[in-house]
Structure 1
């Protein structure tokens, strides 16, 4: 595949991933299983075409069970100061924990 074709494919796949996550967000209140399926399809699209899922969406689903996260419904969000400052996401469906450091983001806003 040529470079131009790769860019076109990447653009199309990113658009589809974005749309699938939007649909997952809309469908979650009525059909959580359907939103889980949309996340699964979006992840598979990204892996198959070697396209990274944008950070905005990457932090909205569980890597272990594939559930679309909605804080208060199936997700606990905690900030922890030690050992390094981080935000901890706890999936209420499978119990998986994800830590996201926020020290770097804090330093960026300081300067």
Structure 2
């Protein structure tokens, strides 16, 4: 769906987030990490987001949305 109709994929992401907020249901962590917090787009590594592994102060993964530039840091255990 994402490659053939990206506008529909964006619409489905918006609907899922809106329904979960209205019904007070948590979206699972593995799916929550696939959404950009700033622009709400579905993140597909290599297509519209960049994924980097950093070892600076603590090991973490940096996911950068290429649409809005927002960065998300996910700690590596």
Q: Quick check: TM above 0.5?
A: yes
Q: How does 1:9-48 map to 2 (within 5 A)?
A: 27-48=1-22
Aligned residues: 77
Greater fraction helix: 1
Unpaired runs of 5+ in structure 2? Answer: none
Per the alignment, in what secondary structure is the counterpart of residue 61 of structure 2? strand
Aligned to 1:92: 66
Give me the CA root mean square deviation: 0.8
- Larger Rg belongs to: 1
Q: Give structure 1 regions of 4+ aligned residues with deviation exceeding 4 angstroms.
A: none
How far apart are the structure 1 equivalents of 2:6 and 2:35?
Answer: 12
**Where is the strand percentage greater, Structure 1 or Structure 2?**
2
1-side partners of 2:67 and 2:7: how far apart? 12
TM-score in terms of structure 1 length: 0.66
Taking structure 2 as the reference length, what is the TM-score of the superposition? 0.94
Q: What's the offset of the Cα at 1:49?
A: 0.9
